[in-house]
Protein backbone atom coordinates (compact mmCIF):
# COMPACT_ATOMS: atom_id res chain seq x y z
CA UNK A 1 0.00 0.00 0.00
CA UNK A 2 1.09 3.58 -0.62
CA UNK A 3 1.15 6.33 1.98
CA UNK A 4 -2.22 7.71 0.82
CA UNK A 5 -3.89 4.32 1.35
CA UNK A 6 -2.32 4.00 4.78
CA UNK A 7 -3.55 7.49 5.68
CA UNK A 8 -7.06 6.71 4.44
CA UNK A 9 -7.25 3.48 6.42
CA UNK A 10 -5.89 5.11 9.53
CA UNK A 11 -8.38 7.99 9.18
CA UNK A 12 -11.26 5.58 8.74
CA UNK A 13 -10.15 3.63 11.76
CA UNK A 14 -9.96 6.86 13.77
CA UNK A 15 -13.50 7.83 12.73
CA UNK A 16 -14.95 4.41 13.57
CA UNK A 17 -13.01 3.77 16.78
CA UNK A 18 -12.77 7.27 18.24
CA UNK A 19 -15.22 9.77 16.77
CA UNK A 20 -18.29 7.54 16.51
CA UNK A 21 -18.21 6.47 20.17
CA UNK A 22 -17.72 10.13 21.08
CA UNK A 23 -20.79 11.10 19.03
CA UNK A 24 -22.84 8.38 20.72
CA UNK A 25 -21.54 9.50 24.11
CA UNK A 26 -22.52 13.12 23.56
CA UNK A 27 -25.94 12.10 22.17
CA UNK A 28 -26.57 10.01 25.26
CA UNK A 29 -25.27 12.81 27.48
CA UNK A 30 -27.66 15.26 25.77
CA UNK A 31 -30.65 13.00 26.31
CA UNK A 32 -29.66 12.43 29.95
CA UNK A 33 -29.49 16.20 30.44
CA UNK A 34 -32.95 16.66 28.89
CA UNK A 35 -34.39 13.91 31.06
CA UNK A 36 -32.84 15.43 34.17
CA UNK A 37 -34.26 18.83 33.23
CA UNK A 38 -37.72 17.27 33.07
CA UNK A 39 -37.69 16.89 36.85
CA UNK A 40 -37.71 20.69 37.31
CA UNK A 41 -39.82 21.46 34.23
CA UNK A 42 -40.96 24.09 33.55
CA UNK A 43 -38.61 26.81 34.81
CA UNK A 44 -39.50 29.46 32.22
CA UNK A 45 -42.46 30.41 29.95
CA UNK A 46 -43.65 27.96 27.29
CA UNK A 47 -44.56 28.95 23.74
CA UNK A 48 -47.63 27.47 22.04
CA UNK A 49 -47.44 27.94 18.27
CA UNK A 50 -50.61 28.28 16.20
CA UNK A 51 -50.42 28.16 12.41
CA UNK A 52 -53.59 30.15 11.83
CA UNK A 53 -55.04 33.56 12.62
CA UNK A 54 -56.37 34.66 15.98
CA UNK A 55 -60.04 33.89 16.49
CA UNK A 56 -60.06 30.67 14.46
CA UNK A 57 -60.68 27.16 15.76
CA UNK A 58 -57.05 26.23 16.39
CA UNK A 59 -56.40 29.58 18.08
CA UNK A 60 -59.40 29.06 20.37
CA UNK A 61 -58.23 25.55 21.31
CA UNK A 62 -54.69 26.80 21.92
CA UNK A 63 -55.82 29.62 24.23
CA UNK A 64 -58.05 27.30 26.24
CA UNK A 65 -55.22 24.79 26.69
CA UNK A 66 -52.61 27.50 27.33
CA UNK A 67 -54.68 29.00 30.16
CA UNK A 68 -55.12 25.63 31.88
CA UNK A 69 -51.46 24.68 31.42
CA UNK A 70 -50.44 28.00 32.96
CA UNK A 71 -52.60 27.28 35.99
CA UNK A 72 -51.37 23.69 36.38
CA UNK A 73 -47.66 24.12 35.60
CA UNK A 74 -47.13 27.47 37.28
CA UNK A 75 -45.45 29.02 34.24
CA UNK A 76 -46.94 31.20 31.52
CA UNK A 77 -47.91 29.44 28.29
CA UNK A 78 -47.93 32.09 25.56
CA UNK A 79 -49.86 31.59 22.31
CA UNK A 80 -47.79 32.60 19.27
CA UNK A 81 -49.73 32.86 15.97
CA UNK A 82 -47.34 32.16 13.07
CA UNK A 83 -49.67 32.18 10.10
CA UNK A 84 -49.08 31.26 6.47
CA UNK A 85 -48.89 28.33 4.06
CA UNK A 86 -51.87 26.52 5.63
CA UNK A 87 -50.07 26.15 8.93
CA UNK A 88 -46.79 24.97 7.42
CA UNK A 89 -44.75 27.90 8.76
CA UNK A 90 -45.64 27.12 12.37
CA UNK A 91 -45.16 23.37 11.85
CA UNK A 92 -41.69 23.89 10.38
CA UNK A 93 -40.75 26.11 13.33
CA UNK A 94 -41.82 23.39 15.75
CA UNK A 95 -39.99 20.66 13.84
CA UNK A 96 -36.75 22.68 14.15
CA UNK A 97 -37.24 23.73 17.79
CA UNK A 98 -35.27 22.29 20.70
CA UNK A 99 -37.03 19.19 22.09
CA UNK A 100 -37.06 20.60 25.62
CA UNK A 101 -40.79 21.10 26.17
CA UNK A 102 -40.66 24.88 25.83
CA UNK A 103 -42.05 24.99 22.28
CA UNK A 104 -45.36 23.29 21.53
CA UNK A 105 -47.99 23.65 18.81
CA UNK A 106 -51.73 23.25 18.43
CA UNK A 107 -51.94 20.90 15.44
CA UNK A 108 -54.88 21.12 13.03
CA UNK A 109 -56.13 18.74 10.33
CA UNK A 110 -54.99 21.17 7.60
CA UNK A 111 -51.37 20.60 8.61
CA UNK A 112 -51.79 16.85 8.22
CA UNK A 113 -53.26 17.43 4.78
CA UNK A 114 -50.12 19.42 3.89
CA UNK A 115 -47.98 16.44 4.90
CA UNK A 116 -50.25 14.08 2.95
CA UNK A 117 -49.57 15.99 -0.25
CA UNK A 118 -45.81 15.47 0.32
CA UNK A 119 -44.91 18.08 -2.28
CA UNK A 120 -41.62 19.48 -1.00
CA UNK A 121 -42.98 20.39 2.43
CA UNK A 122 -40.24 21.37 4.90
CA UNK A 123 -41.76 19.17 7.61
CA UNK A 124 -43.49 15.84 8.04
CA UNK A 125 -46.03 15.50 10.83
CA UNK A 126 -45.31 11.81 11.47
CA UNK A 127 -41.52 12.06 11.16
CA UNK A 128 -40.88 15.38 12.91
CA UNK A 129 -43.60 15.83 15.54
CA UNK A 130 -44.45 13.95 18.74
CA UNK A 131 -47.99 13.72 19.99
CA UNK A 132 -48.73 15.16 23.43
CA UNK A 133 -52.51 14.90 23.56
CA UNK A 134 -55.70 15.08 21.56
CA UNK A 135 -57.66 18.18 22.62
CA UNK A 136 -60.97 18.41 20.77
CA UNK A 137 -63.12 17.04 17.96
CA UNK A 138 -65.37 19.24 15.85
CA UNK A 139 -67.45 17.63 13.10
CA UNK A 140 -68.33 19.39 9.87
CA UNK A 141 -71.89 19.87 8.70
CA UNK A 142 -72.99 18.83 5.23
CA UNK A 143 -74.73 21.99 4.01
CA UNK A 144 -76.59 22.14 0.70
CA UNK A 145 -78.25 24.90 -1.27
CA UNK A 146 -81.82 25.56 -0.04
CA UNK A 147 -83.21 25.16 -3.56
CA UNK A 148 -81.62 21.72 -4.06
CA UNK A 149 -84.11 18.87 -4.29
CA UNK A 150 -82.08 16.62 -1.95
CA UNK A 151 -83.14 16.71 1.70
CA UNK A 152 -81.09 13.77 2.94
CA UNK A 153 -77.68 12.19 2.35
CA UNK A 154 -79.25 9.35 0.34
CA UNK A 155 -81.19 11.77 -1.86
CA UNK A 156 -78.04 13.84 -2.43
CA UNK A 157 -76.03 10.75 -3.43
CA UNK A 158 -78.78 9.61 -5.81
CA UNK A 159 -78.96 13.07 -7.34
CA UNK A 160 -75.19 13.22 -7.81
CA UNK A 161 -75.13 9.78 -9.43
CA UNK A 162 -77.88 10.84 -11.82
CA UNK A 163 -75.89 13.95 -12.79
CA UNK A 164 -72.19 12.99 -12.56
CA UNK A 165 -69.90 16.03 -12.48
CA UNK A 166 -72.77 18.53 -12.69
CA UNK A 167 -73.17 19.28 -8.98
CA UNK A 168 -70.60 21.72 -7.58
CA UNK A 169 -69.07 21.90 -4.13
CA UNK A 170 -67.17 24.78 -2.58
CA UNK A 171 -64.05 24.65 -0.43
CA UNK A 172 -61.60 27.07 1.15
CA UNK A 173 -59.03 26.23 -1.50
CA UNK A 174 -57.13 23.45 -3.22
CA UNK A 175 -55.64 21.18 -0.57
CA UNK A 176 -57.61 22.75 2.26
CA UNK A 177 -59.06 20.49 4.92
CA UNK A 178 -62.68 20.78 3.75
CA UNK A 179 -61.55 20.13 0.17
CA UNK A 180 -60.10 16.79 1.27
CA UNK A 181 -63.10 16.09 3.53
CA UNK A 182 -65.42 16.47 0.55
CA UNK A 183 -63.23 14.20 -1.56
CA UNK A 184 -63.40 11.56 1.20
CA UNK A 185 -67.18 11.79 0.89
CA UNK A 186 -66.99 11.52 -2.92
CA UNK A 187 -64.83 8.40 -2.75
CA UNK A 188 -66.94 6.78 -0.03
CA UNK A 189 -70.25 7.55 -1.74
CA UNK A 190 -68.96 6.65 -5.22
CA UNK A 191 -69.90 10.02 -6.73
CA UNK A 192 -68.14 12.79 -8.65
CA UNK A 193 -68.68 16.45 -7.77
CA UNK A 194 -67.03 19.48 -9.40
CA UNK A 195 -64.69 21.46 -7.14
CA UNK A 196 -65.00 25.25 -6.85
CA UNK A 197 -62.26 26.73 -4.61
CA UNK A 198 -62.83 29.95 -2.64
CA UNK A 199 -60.64 32.24 -0.56
CA UNK A 200 -62.53 31.41 2.62
CA UNK A 201 -65.72 30.02 4.19
CA UNK A 202 -67.80 33.24 3.93
CA UNK A 203 -67.48 33.39 0.14
CA UNK A 204 -68.25 29.68 -0.30
CA UNK A 205 -71.28 29.82 2.00
CA UNK A 206 -72.58 32.98 0.30
CA UNK A 207 -72.58 31.22 -3.06
CA UNK A 208 -74.15 28.14 -1.48
CA UNK A 209 -77.00 30.29 -0.15
CA UNK A 210 -77.35 31.89 -3.59
CA UNK A 211 -77.51 28.55 -5.37
CA UNK A 212 -74.30 29.00 -7.41
CA UNK A 213 -72.89 25.85 -5.80
CA UNK A 214 -74.76 22.92 -4.28
CA UNK A 215 -72.62 21.67 -1.35
CA UNK A 216 -70.19 22.89 1.31
CA UNK A 217 -68.76 20.92 4.21
CA UNK A 218 -68.65 23.72 6.79
CA UNK A 219 -67.82 24.03 10.46
CA UNK A 220 -70.77 23.72 12.83
CA UNK A 221 -70.27 27.29 14.03
CA UNK A 222 -70.55 28.71 10.50
CA UNK A 223 -73.08 26.27 9.03
CA UNK A 224 -75.74 25.96 11.74
CA UNK A 225 -76.55 29.69 12.10
CA UNK A 226 -77.12 29.94 8.34
CA UNK A 227 -79.33 26.86 8.45
CA UNK A 228 -81.41 28.33 11.28
CA UNK A 229 -81.80 31.50 9.24
CA UNK A 230 -83.05 29.45 6.29
CA UNK A 231 -80.15 30.45 4.04
CA UNK A 232 -78.72 26.92 3.65
CA UNK A 233 -79.97 23.43 4.50
CA UNK A 234 -77.88 21.24 6.81
CA UNK A 235 -78.64 17.58 6.07
CA UNK A 236 -75.92 15.76 8.06
CA UNK A 237 -72.90 15.93 10.33
CA UNK A 238 -69.63 14.16 9.58
CA UNK A 239 -69.01 12.59 12.99
CA UNK A 240 -69.64 8.88 13.46
CA UNK A 241 -72.56 9.71 15.74
CA UNK A 242 -74.84 12.74 15.99
CA UNK A 243 -73.31 15.86 17.47
CA UNK A 244 -74.44 17.25 20.81
CA UNK A 245 -74.43 20.67 19.13
CA UNK A 246 -77.06 19.50 16.61
CA UNK A 247 -78.75 16.33 17.93
CA UNK A 248 -81.60 16.53 15.40
CA UNK A 249 -79.20 16.37 12.44
CA UNK A 250 -78.34 12.81 11.32
CA UNK A 251 -74.79 11.58 10.86
CA UNK A 252 -73.60 10.63 7.39
CA UNK A 253 -72.70 7.26 8.94
CA UNK A 254 -76.40 6.53 9.26
CA UNK A 255 -76.41 6.31 5.45
CA UNK A 256 -72.77 5.30 4.84
CA UNK A 257 -71.88 3.00 7.78
CA UNK A 258 -68.50 3.74 9.34
CA UNK A 259 -68.09 7.11 7.62
CA UNK A 260 -66.37 9.80 9.68
CA UNK A 261 -64.29 12.83 8.75
CA UNK A 262 -63.97 15.39 11.49
CA UNK A 263 -61.95 18.44 12.26
CA UNK A 264 -59.81 18.12 15.37
CA UNK A 265 -57.01 19.77 17.31
CA UNK A 266 -54.21 18.38 19.42
CA UNK A 267 -50.97 19.45 21.07
CA UNK A 268 -47.65 18.32 19.59
CA UNK A 269 -43.96 18.79 20.42
CA UNK A 270 -40.68 18.24 18.54
CA UNK A 271 -40.04 14.56 17.87
CA UNK A 272 -37.10 14.03 20.27
CA UNK A 273 -38.89 15.49 23.30
CA UNK A 274 -38.22 13.16 26.29
CA UNK A 275 -41.16 10.93 27.25
CA UNK A 276 -41.10 12.33 30.80
CA UNK A 277 -41.90 15.81 29.47
CA UNK A 278 -44.61 14.50 27.15
CA UNK A 279 -46.25 12.69 30.05
CA UNK A 280 -46.05 15.77 32.29
CA UNK A 281 -47.75 17.90 29.64
CA UNK A 282 -50.26 15.17 28.83
CA UNK A 283 -51.39 14.91 32.45
CA UNK A 284 -51.77 18.69 32.70
CA UNK A 285 -53.87 18.85 29.51
CA UNK A 286 -56.06 15.95 30.63
CA UNK A 287 -56.72 17.74 33.90
CA UNK A 288 -57.65 20.96 32.09
CA UNK A 289 -60.06 19.22 29.73
CA UNK A 290 -62.09 18.02 32.70
CA UNK A 291 -62.83 21.56 33.88
CA UNK A 292 -66.53 22.46 33.40
CA UNK A 293 -65.68 25.89 31.95
CA UNK A 294 -63.43 24.27 29.32
CA UNK A 295 -66.19 21.87 28.29
CA UNK A 296 -68.59 24.80 28.01
CA UNK A 297 -66.22 26.91 25.89
CA UNK A 298 -65.54 24.03 23.51
CA UNK A 299 -69.24 23.15 23.27
CA UNK A 300 -70.04 26.75 22.36
CA UNK A 301 -67.80 26.30 19.32
CA UNK A 302 -69.45 23.00 18.40
CA UNK A 303 -66.49 21.00 19.73
CA UNK A 304 -66.08 18.17 22.20
CA UNK A 305 -63.06 17.95 24.49
CA UNK A 306 -61.24 14.63 24.18
CA UNK A 307 -57.91 13.54 25.60
CA UNK A 308 -55.51 10.75 24.68
CA UNK A 309 -52.12 9.35 25.56
CA UNK A 310 -49.12 10.56 23.53
CA UNK A 311 -48.89 7.13 21.85
CA UNK A 312 -52.58 7.16 20.91
CA UNK A 313 -52.23 10.59 19.36
CA UNK A 314 -49.12 9.48 17.42
CA UNK A 315 -51.07 6.55 15.98
CA UNK A 316 -54.00 8.79 15.09
CA UNK A 317 -51.78 11.26 13.22
CA UNK A 318 -50.14 8.46 11.24
CA UNK A 319 -53.47 6.87 10.31
CA UNK A 320 -54.96 10.21 9.24
CA UNK A 321 -51.99 11.03 7.01
CA UNK A 322 -52.22 7.58 5.42
CA UNK A 323 -55.95 8.00 4.80
CA UNK A 324 -55.57 11.47 3.28
CA UNK A 325 -52.75 10.27 1.02
CA UNK A 326 -54.99 7.50 -0.30
CA UNK A 327 -57.85 9.92 -0.97
CA UNK A 328 -55.51 12.39 -2.69
CA UNK A 329 -54.16 9.59 -4.87
CA UNK A 330 -57.54 8.01 -5.65
CA UNK A 331 -59.12 11.39 -6.48
CA UNK A 332 -56.15 12.44 -8.61
CA UNK A 333 -55.73 15.73 -6.71
CA UNK A 334 -52.70 17.79 -7.69
CA UNK A 335 -51.51 21.02 -6.16
CA UNK A 336 -50.87 23.84 -8.63
Kindly tell me if the per-residue pLDDT of 25 is higher than 70: no
Highest mean pLDDT among 101-115, 150-164, 213-227, 287-301: 150-164
Once rounded to an integer, what is the mean pLDDT over residues 150-158? 97
Kindly tell me if the per-residue pLDDT of 84 is higher than 60: yes
Angle of CA points 198, 265, 303, to nearest 5°: 85
**Rounded CA separation 130/308 (Å):** 13
Kindly tell me if the per-residue pLDDT of 12 is higher than 50: no
Average pLDDT, the chain: 87
Q: Residue ranges per domain, the chain?
A: 1-39, 46-138+266-331, 139-254
Once rounded to an integer, what is the mean pLDDT over residues 88-104? 96
Choice among 7-16, 146-155, 194-203 with the minimum mean pLDDT: 7-16
CA atoms within 13 A on the CB side of 190: 5
pLDDT band at 28 (very low <50, low <70, confident <90, very high): low
Kindly tell me if the per-residue pLDDT of 13 is higher than 50: no
**Rounded CA separation 39/277 (Å):** 9
* 175 vs 53, residue with greater confidence: 53
- CB burial string 242-276: b at 16+ within 10 A, e below: bbebbeebbbbbbbbeebbbbbbbbbbbbeebbeb
**Rounded CA separation 69/65 (Å):** 6
* DSSP string over 220-275: HHHHHHHHHTTSSEEEEESSSS--TTSTTSPBGGGTSTT---EEEEEEEEETT--H
- State in Å, rounded, how far the first CA of the chain is from the last one: 57
Q: Would you identify the CATH topology of the domain 46-138+266-331?
A: D-Maltodextrin-Binding Protein; domain 2 (3.40.190)
Structural domain 139-254, CATH architecture: 3-Layer(aba) Sandwich (3.40)
Amino acid sequence: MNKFSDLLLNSSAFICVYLRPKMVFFSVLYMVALTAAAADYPTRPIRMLVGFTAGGGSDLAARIVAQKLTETLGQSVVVDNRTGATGAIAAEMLAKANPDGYTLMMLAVAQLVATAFADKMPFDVVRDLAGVSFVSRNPYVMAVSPNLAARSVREFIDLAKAQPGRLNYGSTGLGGSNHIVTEVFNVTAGIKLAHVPYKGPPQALADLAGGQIQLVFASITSGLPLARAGKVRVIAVTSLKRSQAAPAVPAIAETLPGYETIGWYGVVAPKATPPALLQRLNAAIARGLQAPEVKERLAADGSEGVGSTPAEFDRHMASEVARFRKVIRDAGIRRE
